[in-house]
Chain A
Amino acid sequence: MGRIVTLTASQTPGLDAVLARHPCEESQLIPLLQDIQDHVGYISAESMRAAATHLNIPESSVYGVVTFYSQFYLTRQGRHKVKVCQGTACHVRGAVEIIRAVTARLGIKPGETTRDFEFSVERVACFGSCALAPVMVVNEKVYGNVTPEMAIRILDELT
């Protein structure tokens, strides 16, 4: 309605196939976004536009949902996702040191991805495994009682 929208063919491989799996109903928004994230790795601006068009809802609504849930990434993530717990228990038992070691090793800040898209680092609130504090999760695998040295070793094993 605002400006004349220019049509561009989808640049994201696989996106059209993902869209085709979901009926054009507003209630499909979250499942569709999860599916996109699983296949594309993150939710690009193009994916949001495509999801909005597919479900026939405003793009702003898609953006609102994507930014509301921390499970959705707006940028392309690394192949390995490193999550370091910042919860109270982990904090008390030295989570800061872990974060420091990990970010120093990879040369990025929490919330960032390495240039080669190998690693992304995130700070996360309590994983619910406080007994194992400090906790670090790499690609869904939980490591407990982590020390800075151990953290670096885990990363090095992945490269």
Chain B
Amino acid sequence: MSVELTFTIDGVSLTAQKGDTVLNAAKAAGIYIPHLCFSEGLESYGACRLCIVEIDDVRGMPTSCSTQVKEGMVVHNDVASVNRVRRMVCEMLIADHPLVCLSCSANMNCRLQDVAAFLGIKGSRLRRMVRKPIVDDSNPFYTRDLSKCILCGLCTRSCHELRGVGAIEIAGRGFESRIAAPGDGPVRDSTCTSCGECVDRCPVNALWAKHETLPPTATVRTTCGYCGCGCGIELGTRGGKIVRVRGDRSAPSNRGSLCVKGRFGLDFVSAPDRLTTPLIKRNGVFKEATWEEALDLVADKLTSIRDQHGADALAGLSSAKCTNEENYVFQKFFRAGLGTNNVDHCARLCHASTVAGLARAFGSGAMTNPQIEFEHADCIFVTGSNTTEAHPITAISIIKAVVEHGATLIVADPRRIDLTRYATLHIRQRSGTDVALFNAMIHVIITEGLGDDAFIQGRTEGFEALKACVADCTPEWAEPITGIPADKIREAARLYAAADRGSIAYSMGITQHTTGTDNVLALANLAMVTGNVGRASTGVNPLRGQNNVQGACDLGALPNKYPGYQDVEAPDIRKRFEAAWKTPLSPTNGLTVTEIVSAAGSGAIRGLYVMGENPMLSDPNLNHVEQALKDVEFLCVQDIFMTETAELADVVLPAASFAEKDGTFTNTDRRVQRVRTAVPKPGEARDDWAILCDIATRTGYPMAYASPSEILDEIASVSPIYGGLSFDRIASEGLQWPCPDRDHPGTTFLHEGEFKRGKGKFHATPFKVAAEEPDTDYPFLLTTGRYLYHWHTRTMTSRTKGLEEICPPTPIEIHPDDAALAGIEHGDIIEVSSRRGTIEANAHVTDRSPRGTVFMAFHFHEGAANRLTIDAVDPIAKIPEFKVCAVRISTAATTKKTDNA
């Protein structure tokens, strides 16, 4: 309930909402009140004292950034008395500020200039103190010059309050005060994550982004192409290049914040090694070709394989990096054009178990509630998600909930991830024993009567089966399995059950197991037992990885689903799609990614089309994948770089990056957001959808669209959850599906009042052990994951030098005790082997890893973790077990190194 207040500033009548400050209300009305230490989203600080005003019946000159509007308030802003004081303050500020404006990169974009100009400052009457530059150039992305710092504290406050990092602080006092990393050391050696929030907020040029050498001449609002957080970004461009990146403060997903990849990691767009022309492999070497030649060849090969061996000898890997429109066109081309349902994409490798599990339990496989709702949860249970690294913007909401609203945070993760700094309770289950933990928590909740009986009665079914399944799952039973003390399991259960709004966040630590679907079902059980679904700030929330992995699933880049999760094997649905696409369709489900790779190896799949994916690094048991891709008769890869997979292709087609195309991405919130062209495509590169349409037409199924907008309109006509979407509706802000019609406002959270499938269904999920456990030959458990600084297989991030500098290949994290036993020291190159392969990696000795477990990220082709991982899959979702396999480590390589030295 907002109360409208009326007040005046310098005689102008304005309105404000209750709780608005005078400064904010003035800003909203376009009235300038000088200010330096205030920035949106941060608490008022009251340090610069430039925002002072006079208010009738209020003594002195209060600061407008911390004064709330009251009904009938009479405010004086631009008046002589106030400006006289402001002028004194401003003169003090510039007395020791280097006056080098003309050569300063913040020239004409400096809040201090704004203030000085507004006040008509002619110079400082104070004695000038000349400060030499005090420069910290250590961070690869930004520079700090303390001689220009006005100590507004915006950088330290954004770092502590907004980002929860706290890398820098104001050190010293009085004249000695300065912004400092611990020990006044270089910021590079601090905990700084290079998110650039401080750079963005600095009102002067004391912090600046190194790559911003020229101001942009145009700005485009679009969506980050890296991760599922789906941050709104503004790309400033000039001469066809991106010259500035800013977070979009109006975007609901990120409210202006970005992570290091989105802000500083876009060099790949203009990288010199972008693919710019079609390539055809002749006698083992790639030769440049015209589009005509390449398209003809691809169409010929695909049709001849289809004609000789049937459509099911073809398969396509669509892409969670591409737009919704492109994914739609891709699966339509395969289903309607070529006649097979063999379409899948990398979601198989990340959240297939989510889609399978949540669809069974709730009827919909997506995140139930949006990221920002974590902020208002009472208890957040984070498991199998290294949120600060994999979903940096989601992590902001979780940290805010804890710091600002006192929420309880439970982290269940084998690794001491950074989020544990904010955790009320950190429990470290052995990788692969999640179901045992969740079952024991449910056991405690049921036996102690902490559940929500009304919810169980009214909104769910199958409770008796669950009850029977967990009857013997006491915390004492789970203790030896999970390695978590029984009383901690009880504590976790009680904390979560006590919450009015309990929210679960999980990611690949849950899904990438042979028991992935069970893990997800067990979490759904946990949420339903406590009635934590279908309300704001509750739910079961799978954080989706890729920028558009949600969209690729939504649009049917899945072997068993048409767009909008409509079953391929349901005859009435197939009939509808046959009518819409004007062709008969295959009635049987296609193959999944993992099955496609095996089938390629065995010769059942002869033609493979890969759009924007790199299975050569991302899939488990790489040695096996490599052989399969080599064996396949015809491989076409459509990408922006010559990836490890493209190297093996017969034809490579150059595509457009996210900054070069129009369309939509659907982020982890189910929010469909606009992607807009900011810069031209390099060379002859083309939009993925346009390439696909041309090939489809050549294979005898004509496809043509004037623009992605037209494709989205077609999507709306065949997929009810996208029914109300169109480019014009999401022009200024994205909409969350389901959005069935043009007047529907979108859906903030799912399952309100009723589950998508009617009643929520409990599933009995007995505990099962992982496919491969450590043994005497391979005594360590290897678990894999990601780092903040890289994306996926590094195709994009490796083109940004700074990211490579901060996070070079290839670390393996190992506990100090294990390292000591094995005689390994920090920085040693060690050999890591599993039953499937051997690689070398760089030992990072850290207690982030529990004893007996080593951790590796899958980003690096030098030392590829997936040469070690196992391709055992979940029986339902077919997701591989990336999170558990057995390895041994040896110092052999180290010794070799020293011997040679």
Q: A residues engaging B (CB < 8 A)? A: 1-7, 45, 48-49, 56-64, 67-68
- Shortest Cβ gap from B432 to chain A (Å): 23
Contact of A61 (CB < 8 Å), options: B169, B172, B192, B848: B169
- Which residue on chain B has the smallest CB distance to residue A59? B182
CA of A68 to CA of B170, assembled, Å: 9
If A59-B190, A63-B171 are given as contacts, then 13 extra A-B residue pairs at C-beta distance below 8 Å, sorted by A number, are A1-B165, A1-B788, A4-B813, A45-B183, A49-B182, A58-B166, A59-B166, A60-B182, A60-B190, A61-B166, A63-B181, A67-B176, A68-B173
- Shortest Cβ gap from A136 to chain B (Å): 24
Chain A contacts for B165, CB-based, 8 A = 1-2, 58
Contact of B166 (CB < 8 Å), options: A5, A45, A57: A57
Chain B contacts for A63, CB-based, 8 A = 169, 171, 180-183
25 contacting pairs across A/B (C-beta < 8 A): A1-B191, A2-B165, A2-B191, A3-B191, A4-B811, A4-B848, A5-B848, A6-B826, A6-B846, A7-B816, A7-B847, A45-B182, A48-B182, A48-B183, A58-B166, A58-B169, A60-B190, A61-B166, A61-B169, A63-B169, A63-B171, A64-B170, A67-B172, A67-B176, A67-B180
A67 and B193: CB pair below 8 A?
no
Check B490 for interface membership: any CB of A closer than 8 A.
no
Q: Contacts A1-B193, A1-B418, A2-B191 hold; do A60 and B847 have CB atoms under 8 A apart?
A: no
Check B383 for interface membership: any CB of A closer than 8 A.
no
Closest 7 CB pairs of A and B: A58-B166, A64-B169, A60-B169, A67-B171, A2-B191, A1-B418, A59-B182
- 163-191 of chain B: CB within 8 A of chain A: 165-173, 176, 180-183, 189-191
- Shortest Cβ gap from B679 to chain A (Å): 31
Check B866 for interface membership: any CB of A closer than 8 A.
no
Chain B contacts for A62, CB-based, 8 A = 182
A60 and B181: CB pair below 8 A?
yes
Chain A contacts for B166, CB-based, 8 A = 57-61
CA of A59 to CA of B190, assembled, Å: 9
B168 and A7: CB pair below 8 A?
no
Check B160 for interface membership: any CB of A closer than 8 A.
yes
Chain B contacts for A59, CB-based, 8 A = 166, 182, 190-191
A2 and B193: CB pair below 8 A?
yes
Check B619 for interface membership: any CB of A closer than 8 A.
no
Q: Of residues B166, B816, B826, which shows the largest number of chain A Cβ atoms within 10 Å of its Cβ?
A: B166
Q: Of residues B159, B172, B418, which shows the largest number of chain A Cβ atoms within 10 Å of its Cβ?
A: B172
Chain A contacts for B806, CB-based, 8 A = 2-3
Check B227 for interface membership: any CB of A closer than 8 A.
no
B172 and A58: CB pair below 8 A?
no
Chain B contacts for A67, CB-based, 8 A = 171-173, 176, 180
B846 and A4: CB pair below 8 A?
yes
CA of A8 to CA of B172, assembled, Å: 28
B389 and A1: CB pair below 8 A?
yes
CA of A7 to CA of B418, assembled, Å: 14
B418 and A4: CB pair below 8 A?
no
Contact of B844 (CB < 8 Å), options: A6, A58, A68: A6
- Which residue on chain A has the smallest CB distance to residue B195? A1
Q: Contacts A58-B191, A64-B169 hold; do A7 and B181 have CB atoms under 8 A apart?
A: no
B388 and A1: CB pair below 8 A?
yes
Chain B contacts for A5, CB-based, 8 A = 846, 848
Check B582 for interface membership: any CB of A closer than 8 A.
no
CA of A85 to CA of B181, assembled, Å: 32
